[in-house]
């Protein structure tokens, strides 16, 4: 029996500050130049002893979250148990703040959090490299949710090189009604490329590289330079499938955002602000516009999946910083 009755893990969402998409590979994936950036809009995953793997979920969009063995959190628990040759016995509770099917890797985040939570609950002490390998098998974005910070992801996004970034950037995320399927957005990207006559296979499309201007902006901690370098090759596909996103992007830019882009495969949209005050006024304009369901002000980079506090059932009091997140109270799951 574990010394820990309850383990809570906080895990960040991501935005891609560059999402360069190469051609479609024979295995159905696309090679990427993917610069991940972890933001403090995060989920909490709590693990308790249980019989078999049981999942529960609360928070916005939780009715859309599968509670069966297809959920990445459940798959993570089984994968970790199988690696150690033990039975998977855990009750996992997910408190969602990351938009569901929103292009912010919320499902991947829960998978990463479940790996960390079960590893602590079952007292396995799994080496980081092994957790990373298990994460990469679960999905392309899961390793980054473990790592956090800012990182360049190559191949299908799972081969990571950390990028040191000084300071903090202010972000606003506008949540759209409903989600978009990541495979559907990649397919639409391929379709648009074929339609434009540029080709869409890995033989026809050169794999993009990380943009040197973007890397310099990150290394300098310069929001204006970062704003000028933000790109997402999936944006035309996401807007093609959800044309109303163009208006959300326009509203945020008109309200003073330094830049606006679709987050990953969407439909969440991301806005970079000069400072916290400007971020609040962009969020207000987005909420008042009626072009989104909610607008969250947040910041990054923040660390990856980590045990919130290492005593049983502990929750840090509001306002106390934890694991490098500047202020846990700012990121309560149901905040807007």
Cα–Cα distance, 42 to 173 (Å, whole number):
12
DSSP-derived 3-state class of residue 262: strand
- In angstroms, give the least distance from the CB of 142 to ligand C5P: 8
Strand partners, 160: 153
Cα–Cα distance, 28 to 201 (Å, whole number):
10
- In angstroms, give the least distance from the CB of 138 to ligand C5P: 8
63 part of the active site: no
Nearer to ligand C5P, 183 or 324 (CB): 183
Please work out, in degrees rounded to the nearest 5, the angle formed at the alpha carbon of residue 29 by the alpha carbons of 305 and 15.
40
Residue among 31, 110, 141, 233 flagged as catalytic: 141
Binding site for ligand C5P (CB under 6 A): 28-30, 32, 139-141, 156-157, 182-183, 186
Nearer to ligand C5P, 203 or 288 (CB): 203
Cα–Cα distance, 123 to 68 (Å, whole number):
25
Residue among 14, 110, 119, 190 flagged as catalytic: 14
- In angstroms, give the least distance from the CB of 193 to ligand C5P: 13
- In angstroms, give the least distance from the CB of 141 to ligand C5P: 6
Question: What are the start-end ranges of the E strands in 163-287?
Answer: 169-175, 231-232, 259-262, 269-273
Residue 318, C-beta contacts closer than 8 angstroms, at least 6 positions apart: 328, 329, 332
Nearer to ligand C5P, 138 or 283 (CB): 138
Nearer to ligand C5P, 74 or 292 (CB): 74
Nearer to ligand C5P, 18 or 170 (CB): 18
The torsion angles phi and psi of 97, rounded to 5 degrees, stand at -125, -25
Nearest alpha carbon to residue 185 among 65, 297, 47, 19 = 19
Q: How many CA atoms, within 13 angstroms, populate the side-chain half-sphere of residue 95?
A: 15
Task: Enumerate the active-site residues.
Answer: 14, 141
């Amino acid at each position: 029996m574990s010394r820990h009755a309850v383990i809570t893990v906080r895990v960040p969402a991501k935005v891609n500050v560059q999402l360069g998409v190469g051609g479609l590979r024979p295995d159905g994936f696309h090679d990427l130049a993917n610069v991940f950036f972890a933001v403090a809009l995060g989920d909490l995953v709590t693990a308790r002893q249980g019989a078999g793997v049981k999942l529960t979920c609360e928070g916005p969009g939780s009715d859309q979250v599968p509670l069966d063995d297809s959920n990445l959190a459940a798959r993570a628990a089984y994968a970790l148990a199988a690696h150690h040759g033990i039975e998977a016995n855990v009750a996992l509770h997910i408190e969602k703040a990351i938009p569901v099917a929103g292009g912010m890797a919320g499902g991947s985040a829960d998978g990463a959090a479940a790996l960390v939570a079960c590893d602590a609950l079952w007292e396995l002490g799994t080496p980081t490299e092994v957790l990373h390998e298990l994460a990469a098998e679960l999905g392309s974005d899961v390793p980054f949710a473990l790592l956090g910070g800012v990182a360049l992801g190559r191949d299908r996004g799972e081969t990571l090189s950390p990028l040191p970034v000084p300071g903090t950037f202010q972000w606003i995320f506008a949540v759209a009604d409903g989600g978009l399927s990541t495979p559907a957005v990649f397919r639409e990207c391929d379709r648009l490329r074929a339609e434009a006559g540029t080709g869409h296979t890995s033989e026809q499309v050169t794999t993009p590289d990380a943009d040197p201007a973007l890397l310099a902006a990150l290394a300098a901690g310069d929001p204006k330079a970062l704003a000028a370098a933000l790109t997402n090759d999936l944006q035309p596909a996401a807007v093609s499938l959800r044309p109303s996103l163009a208006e959300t992007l326009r509203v945020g830019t008109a309200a003073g955002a330094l830049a606006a882009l679709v987050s990953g495969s969407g439909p969440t949209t991301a806005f970079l602000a000069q400072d916290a005050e400007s971020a609040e006024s962009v969020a207000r304009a987005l909420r008042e516009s009626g072009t989104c369901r909610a607008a969250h002000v947040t910041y990054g980079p923040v660390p990856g999946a980590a045990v919130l506090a290492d005593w049983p059932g502990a929750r840090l009091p509001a306002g106390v910083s934890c694991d490098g997140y500047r202020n846990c109270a700012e990121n309560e799951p149901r905040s807007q």
